[in-house]
Amino acid sequence: MHELPFDSVLIANRGEIAVRIIKTLRKLGLRSAIVYHDIDAGTPAVSMADAAIAIDGRTPNAAYLDIPQIIAAARKANAGALHPGYGFLSENAEFAKAVTSAGITFIGPAPESIELMGDKIRARNFVQRHGFPVAPCAIEEDDPTTFVRRARAMGPPLLVKPSAAGGGKGMQIVRDIGLLEDAIARARSEAQRYFGDGRLYVERYIETPRHIEVQVLGDALGTVAHLFERECSIQRRFQKLIEEAPAPGLSSELRQRICDSAVGIARAANYRNAGTVEFLLSGGEFHFLEMNTRLQVEHPVTEMITGVDLVAEQIHIAAGRPLRLTQSDIVPSGHAIEARLCAEAPERGYAPTTGKVLVLDYPSGDGIRIDSGLSRDQKITTAFDPLLAKIIAHSPSRVETAQKAHRALRDLVLLGCTTNASFLARILADDGFLHGHIHTGYLEEHPHIAAGDPRADLSGFLAAGALLTGPVRESADAVSDLHAALGSWRN
């Protein structure tokens, strides 16, 4: 690689994505710096970075959202560039502007692109204007007085979404039109609290669509290439759990149309850097959902099938270089599946779990990639998103990949905090999933997958628990041979 205009990159993020970015920085011979809240001290990302700068805030989350502190940290670390990762400030146009004005290269799209795509209503209108398919919807700000009436007119089911939506927060499904106003009120309260922006719109809700998204890369010269699609239909509450590439059972004609649309939208937006255009696919028809102007959590599946290091490409583009890849260079191979290991209990309604990592042992092997920011003794709190690590498998066929990922999840040992590993393994072994009969409502339609088997035989665990618990063993050992031999004899 040619000499880059910067030699040090500040990572304004934490956890697995920070580790993943550091790995590429090391490969590129760049110095890494990271900001961290005290709660993350000692985590792998902080230990691995060449420099680590503490930041604080009212809550840990607030620290990672504190633009002035992060800019100051970047200056302090002498960072020539900044990678925002995903979440936090990654899609905050103000942040991108502030970084740029500080003379630091923002590894991501231009603030205008973030702004355009960050406002879901504007993005939708933009896409529609350029002739790409969108879902019917009622937008509040078009005419607030008629908003509810217009929404109601579309008929159920409906989806109430904040204009500043992200990560599924504040979305409400309305199946009974009578509950529409309640849902609007609830969505507004959450949107106001999460995004400081209570603007809403209502879309026709498609019950069982597939979530297909396309990874794109665009450069400053207006060249855009796609790295094929990802299927992210296995979700719970609009949050992706299992992602794969390529999407199963897609005809090459449909795949082409979807990828072309993504490239078209990115090109129309003059999009620079890595981005993802998301579509909903239903009955052979697809429409634009939103565009994410950052690196996605699920980017590794694309990397696995294309062999492209997306973070390296992001840095390359941010450095002002033209795309190194032409569309024809990008040839997918095999199938990749990612499973998101989260600190939550699907068996208990996905309740978040907390704890401390006492034992951590990831599986390894050919075609297995683990993106993790966890280490032993680390505390798992509810301060952040419950994502702990990603287990990614790659092999020639989908079924083989699912089996490989399944085995990896069963072999993974994380003790000290309940995770969704068994649940993910159950999905990967599910017949419907293996046959590719998936859609975004799949888990709701098959609640037994999340519930697990409540009557599962725990005797093995109880045996191990009994043998390993001091008081239990002591009380057994306290009984003499004779009395133990007589058992519960009564006269």
Site for another protein in 443-472 (CB under 8 A): 458-469, 471-472
What mask of x and - would describe binding to another protein in positions 381 to 400, judged by CB under 8 A?
xxx-----------------
Q: List the interface residues with another protein, window 51-70 (CB under 8 A).
A: 58-59
Question: Are β-strands 200-204 and 210-218 bridged in parallel, bridged antiparallel, or unpaired?
Answer: unpaired
On the question of a cis peptide bond just before residue 246, with omega within 30 degrees of 0, the verdict is: yes
Name which of 326 and 488 has its Cβ closer to another protein.
Answer: 488
Rounded Cα–Cα distance for residues 491 and 458 (Å): 33
Give yes or no for residue 375 binding another protein (CB under 8 A). no
Q: How far apart are CA 159 and CA 144, in angstroms?
A: 17
The single residue among 197, 198, 422, 436 that binds another protein, judged by CB under 8 A, is 422
Inter-residue long-range contacts of 236-240, CB under 8 Å, 24+ positions, other chains counted:
236/346, 236/350, 236/443, 236/444, 236/450, 237/168, 237/350, 238/167, 238/168, 238/171, 238/440, 239/167, 239/168, 240/211, 240/297, 240/298, 240/340
- Residue ranges of alpha helices (H) inside 299-391 are 299-306, 310-318
Minimum CB–partner distance for residue 415 and another protein (Å): 4
Span from 69-77, 319-327, 405-413, 430-438 in contact with another protein (CB under 8 A): 405-413
Q: Is 332 in the site for another protein (CB under 8 A)?
A: no
Q: Shortest Cβ distance from residue 482 to another protein (Å)?
A: 5
Which residue bears the tokens 């998101």?
340
How many angstroms separate the Cα of 420 from the Cα of each of 205, 296, 399, 442? 28, 21, 21, 17
> Nearest distance from residue 405's CB to another protein, in Å?
13
Q: Which residue in 56, 347, 400, 444 binds another protein (CB under 8 A)?
A: 347
- Residue 369, classed as helix, strand or coil, is strand
Beta bridge partners of 161: 201
Q: What part of residues 167-226 is at the interface with another protein (CB under 8 A)? A: 167-169, 186, 189-190, 193
287: helix, strand or coil: strand
Q: Which of 65, 73, 72, 79 is nearest to 107 (CA)?
A: 79
Does 153 contact another protein by CB under 8 A? no
Query: Of these, 145, 252, 326, 491, which contacts another protein (CB under 8 A)?
Result: 491
Least distance in angstroms from the C-beta of 341 to another protein: 11
Identify which range of 83-91, 161-169, 279-287, 432-440 contacts another protein by CB under 8 A. Answer: 161-169
Q: Which stretch binds another protein (CB under 8 A): 222-230, 290-298, 324-332, 347-355?
A: 347-355
Nearer to another protein, 168 or 322 (CB): 168
| Residue 369 C-beta: closest distance to another protein, Å | 20
Binding residues for another protein restricted to 83-122, rule: CB under 8 A: none
The torsion defined by the Cα of 195, 17, 352 and 418, in degrees rounded to 10, comes to 180
- Of the ranges 14-22, 42-50, 131-139, 353-361, which one interacts with another protein (CB under 8 A)? 353-361
User: Binding-site residue total for another protein (CB under 8 A)?
Assistant: 71
Q: Output the six-digit token pair for 420.
A: 């969704």
